């Protein structure tokens, strides 16, 4: 990868509401701007199920809205100053600017405005927090830890960046003293958290528009680890070079670090890993103690590695290995992570969130291994213009794992996407025969194109930006249905 340099600022710790003992209850009546998106809806759901007064504004018809309304949240279907009547705190994401009508109105009225990460940190006050960070694997690892805790009789609170396959929930208040959180490094807001257990799954080149270069990104993860509460532990993947180095740095500073992976010196060492279409199995050893065989019912070695992080976190929370094993074997999966959406015309259609080349290669390699003689057809929507430009060669290399590729235009809200840096350039870079790849900027053209290319026995996967999760039903319909989901 050609290194891209940006103007950047030093990594500095952020103030956390937990430092002042601020709790979610202290925020009063909360308005969440963009309440329907996965990240914000999970947090809003946590607040609502905690019994707190919640409202939100949303322009899009997200599936989460009816459930939030059923939980008592007031949903405003426009952004307007009147939405702030009776509100004590406004919560926004990094994507919402100071000029937004509701932020500006809140400032004018003297209403507290908080970033999503601050409201999340407030919900963590007084609880043992498990915070999962890393370039890849955060959502699945968060879901695995949550379901292991639930299966072991612990009722955790949680906020995840994806929805559980069975419950469809990305956030919930639990009666236990543990809270499990997926952290977001892209805007450095993960520096606000004070975890009891901090997990770093990997450190890979991404978000360099905010960090400048990968060394500064690595420094950000180290600073995240330094935020771990007194008596806590930082868990890092021993198989990932930069995550391992972060762990070594933190250990040298006197912090407690535990490692997992296939590396011979990992504290939780896994070996004899075997992946099939049914899932991944492996043998685990924890500091010379033989823990036996573990199984997670989702395929792919990378998901097996994620599960090892979850097992190690559960061990550090004092849970018994046999109960951890049973809970992991019942893992239900996460939507948009290797999710089978249906079968029509003899063609299986999966949906996968991967958009970074490392995650794409892992997912496509796994899918290629279960296609059972058919072809693998990938429909890819790139996510963010800067990433598509800077990682074009690596993304193209990942797409070439498939037999055929349908490339869409970049999804980058608020970004300008020059033709030379978007889908056209990416399509040209994919090393597949011209007849086996196509660039389709129009969403409506994609389902028919896939149906024309696919034949019984093939496997289709929609992959990439968030809106693409809406595409599988259209592809299944174009394939002639009936479909199963």
* Structural domains of the chain sorted by starting position, each given as residue range(s) with its CATH number in brackets: 22-115 (3.40.50.720), 125-329 (3.40.1190.10), 339-478 (3.90.190.20)
Q: Specify the DSSP element, H or E, that contains 257.
A: strand 257-261
What band does 205 get if pLDDT is binned at 50, 70 and 90? low
Could you tell me how far CA 428 lies from the centroid of its own chain?
Answer: 29
Residue 81 CB coordination number (10 Å): 13
By C-alpha distance, which of 414, 415, 417, 477 is closest to 446?
477
Give, in order, the Cα–Cα distances in Å from 63 to each of 93, 315, 345, 469. 19, 35, 27, 12
User: Residue 276 pLDDT > 70, yes or no?
Assistant: yes
What band does 482 get if pLDDT is binned at 50, 70 and 90? low
Number of helices (H) and strands (E) in the chain: give both, helices first: 16, 21
What band does 164 get if pLDDT is binned at 50, 70 and 90? low
User: Residue 13 pLDDT > 90, yes or no?
Assistant: no
State the average pLDDT over residues 170-194: 89
Most confident of 60-64, 153-157, 185-189: 153-157
Contact 200, 217 (CB under 8 A): no
Across the chain, mean pLDDT equals 88
Give the three-class secondary structure for 330: coil
pLDDT value at position 208?
Answer: 59
Q: Where does residue 226 fall: left (phi above 0), alpha (psi -120 to 50 degrees), or beta otherwise?
A: alpha
State the average pLDDT over residues 25-42: 92
Per-residue pLDDT tens for 78-100?
999 999 999 999 999 888 889 99
Residue of 242 and 337 predicted with greater confidence: 242
pTM score of the predicted model: 0.79
At residue 174, φ and ψ (nearest 5 deg) are: -115, 165
pLDDT value at position 10?
Answer: 52
pLDDT value at position 17?
Answer: 84
């Amino acid at each position: 990868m050609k290194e891209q340099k940006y103007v950047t600022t030093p990594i500095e710790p952020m103030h956390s509401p937990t430092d002042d003992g601020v709790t979610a209850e202290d925020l009063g009546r909360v308005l969440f701007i963009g309440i329907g998106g996965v990240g914000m809806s999970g947090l809003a759901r946590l607040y609502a199920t905690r019994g707190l007064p919640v409202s939100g504004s949303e322009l899009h018809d997200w599936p989460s809205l009816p459930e939030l309304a059923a939980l008592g949240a007031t949903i405003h279907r426009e952004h307007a100053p009147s939405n702030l009547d009776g509100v004590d705190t406004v919560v926004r994401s990094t994507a919402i600017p100071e000029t937004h009508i509701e932020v500006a109105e809140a400032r004018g009225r003297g209403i507290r405005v908080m970033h999503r990460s601050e409201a999340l940190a407030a919900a963590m006050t007084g609880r043992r927090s498990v915070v999962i960070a890393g370039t890849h694997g955060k959502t699945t690892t968060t879901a695995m830890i949550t379901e292991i805790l639930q299966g072991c009789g612990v009722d955790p609170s949680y906020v995840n960046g994806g929805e559980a396959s069975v419950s469809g929930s990305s956030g919930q208040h639990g009666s236990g003293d543990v809270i499990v959180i997926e952290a977001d490094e892209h805007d450095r807001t993960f520096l606000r958290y004070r975890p009891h257990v901090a997990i770093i799954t990997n450190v890979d080149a991404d978000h360099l528009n905010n960090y400048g270069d990968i060394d500064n990104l690595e420094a950000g993860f180290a600073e995240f680890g330094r935020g771990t509460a007194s008596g806590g532990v930082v868990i890092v993947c021993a198989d990932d070079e930069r995550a391992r180095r972060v762990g070594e740095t933190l250990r040298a500073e006197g912090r407690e670090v535990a490692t997992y992976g296939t590396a011979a010196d990992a504290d939780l060492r896994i070996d004899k890993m075997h992946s099939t279409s049914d899932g991944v199995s492996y043998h685990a050893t924890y500091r010379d103690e033989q823990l036996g065989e573990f199984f997670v019912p989702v395929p792919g070695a990378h998901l097996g590695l994620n599960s090892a992080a979850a097992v190690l976190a559960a061990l550090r929370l004092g849970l018994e290995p046999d109960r951890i094993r049973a809970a992991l074997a019942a893992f239900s999966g996460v939507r948009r992570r290797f999710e089978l959406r249906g079968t029509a015309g003899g063609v299986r259609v999966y949906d996968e969130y991967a958009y970074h080349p490392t995650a794409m290669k892992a997912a496509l390699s796994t899918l290629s291994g279960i296609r059972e003689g058919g072809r693998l057809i990938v429909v890819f929507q790139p996510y963010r213009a800067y990433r598509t430009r800077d990682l074009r060669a690596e993304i193209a290399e990942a797409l070439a794992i498939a037999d055929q590729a349908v490339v869409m235009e970049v999804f980058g809200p608020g970004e300008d996407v020059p033709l030379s840096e978007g889908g056209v350039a990416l399509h040209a870079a994919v090393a597949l025969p011209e007849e086996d790849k196509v660039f389709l900027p129009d969403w409506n053209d994609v389902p028919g194109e896939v149906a024309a290319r696919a034949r019984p026995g093939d496997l289709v996967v929609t992959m990439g930006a968030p809106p693409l999760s809406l595409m599988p039903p259209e592809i299944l319909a174009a394939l002639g249905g009936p479909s199963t989901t």
